[in-house]
Amino acid sequence: MQDSAMSNEKGLRENMEALEQFREEVRDAAELLDFAVSEGREVANRIIDDIKKAQQYLTESDLPPPEDRATFEKAYRDLAQFMSPITIRTLRATSDKYGRKLGRLLVFSQISEARIWSRKLWYLTVVFILFALFGENLQTILLEFYPADEVTGGALLKWQILSSILRSVTPFTYGAIGSLAYLLRSCHQFIQKREFDKNRIPEYISRILLGIVSGGSITLFIQEIASDQGAIKISAAALGFLAGYNTDFLFKTIERIAEAILPKVGLETIQRARVIAAKSPVQELITPTSMETLIDLRNKATDDESKKFIEELIAKLVERR
């Protein structure tokens, strides 16, 4: 009896959990459908009918029949595909109704997760801009208003060191500003289109870090940009901003440099060259090199190993003749 009662209780609990999960899906589908209708989207009549029909189970205490659940799931799936990339998550992330209170100054208001993240981007942008301005103007301030002499030289030394450090990290700073500019532009577009997904916030943070790295690294590879009018000199700060705004700029530059510098020789190429060398006559391999040219190269060689190699070639040519 006790085992039977426990089994019935477990089954009832599982049934309630399944019912609540189904109700949650119905509420999500209904909210997404309401948004689609309010925006004038041409949702299929079948989808509307099936989702509206499923809403009647929100007030019932039993799960709907399996065929009704399957019909609803198919309708919700088709609606989600039709509305993509807008989902119920993005709708709620861009709605103040599902937001949260941010700070004491906003204790009586609540804003969406998208607006919270947008404000964080504002603050970060302002911080990096102030840091860049301080770093670029510190040296000018020291030279014009606090010139070093025998008395003040020692006291100003630490400020001179700090100024040098700040100038060296300038490209990194502008890389961060570039990445933040890109994210601010994208974030506001996502908010306006109701496509902001808070699950992608770690990706945005990685974008900022990647922008910092790109901004500081790009100056290692290029210092000017080619155009129709010729090479254009560009400052390290501008390069850092470009690399931060478009991180692919750095990766494409690295790929072009690697293709130009690294040898395109693989194992198969080396093996094929060895086979050709074994089957071909020596004079065919070194044609059109003449005996006089080889002798001249031998005389100009500066190391014994090169001289020995050329002498061996000359000896083989003589044998072939």
Per DSSP, the residues of 213-237 read: HHHHHGGGT-SEEEETTEEEE--HH
Domain membership flag for residue 96: no
What whole-number distance in Å separates Cα of residue 157 and Cα of residue 286? 64
The angle that helices 113-145 and 153-168 make with each other, rounded to 10 degrees, is 140
Question: Are 254 and 200 part of one and the same domain?
Answer: yes
Residue 28 and residue 144 share a domain: no
Residues 233, 135, single domain; the answer is yes
In 3-state terms, what secondary structure has residue 100? Answer: strand
For 222, residues 6+ apart whose C-beta sits below 8 A from its C-beta are 239, 253
Task: Based on the fold, state whether residues 235 and 274 are members of the same structural domain.
Answer: no
Nearest of 85, 187, 71, 171 to residue 131 by alpha carbon: 171
Domain span holding position 29: 2-84
| DSSP structural state of residue 64 | P
| 234 and 273 co-located in one domain | no
Asked if residue 309 and residue 227 are part of one domain, the reply reads no
Phi and psi, residue 52, nearest 5°: -65, -35
pLDDT given for residue 273 in this prediction: 46
Q: Half-sphere exposure (CA, 13 Å, Cβ side) for 249?
A: 25
User: Which pLDDT score is estimated for 197?
Assistant: 94
pTM of this structure: 0.71
- 274 with 300, same domain: the answer is yes
In a domain, 101, yes or no: no
Residue 229 φ/ψ, nearest 5 degrees: -90, 5
107 found inside a domain: no
Point out which residues pair with 225 in neighbouring strands: 232
Three-class DSSP category at 216: helix
Claim to verify: residue 25 and residue 134 sit in the same structural domain: no
Q: How far apart are CA 240 and CA 253, in angstroms?
A: 13
Domain shared by 15 and 132, yes or no: no
With respect to residue 289, please indicate whether it lies within any of the assigned structural domains: yes
Tens-binned pLDDT, residue by residue, of the chain (321 aa): 555 655 666 667 778 888 899 999 999 999 999 999 999 999 999 999 999 999 998 888 888 899 999 999 999 999 999 999 999 999 999 999 998 876 655 456 789 999 999 999 999 999 999 999 998 888 888 777 777 665 565 667 778 888 888 888 989 999 999 999 999 999 999 999 999 999 999 999 999 999 999 998 888 877 666 556 666 678 888 889 999 999 887 788 778 777 766 655 444 544 454 454 454 444 444 444 456 666 766 676 666 666 676 677 677 666 655
In a domain, 93, yes or no: no
Rounded distance between C-alpha atoms, residue 37 and residue 268, angstroms:
62
Cis upstream peptide for 202 (omega within 30°): no
131 and 250 fall within a common domain? yes
Establish if 97 belongs to a structural domain. no
The tokens describing 121, both together, are 């981007």
State the pLDDT at residue 153.
58
What pLDDT score does 163 carry? Answer: 85
Decide if 166 contacts 135 (C-beta within 8 A).
yes
pLDDT at 4: 61
61 φ, ψ (degrees, to nearest 5): -95, 0
Choose one of 84, 99, 131: the last residue of a domain: 84
In a domain, 213, yes or no: yes
pLDDT at 257: 74
Let me know whether 62 and 173 are in one domain.
no
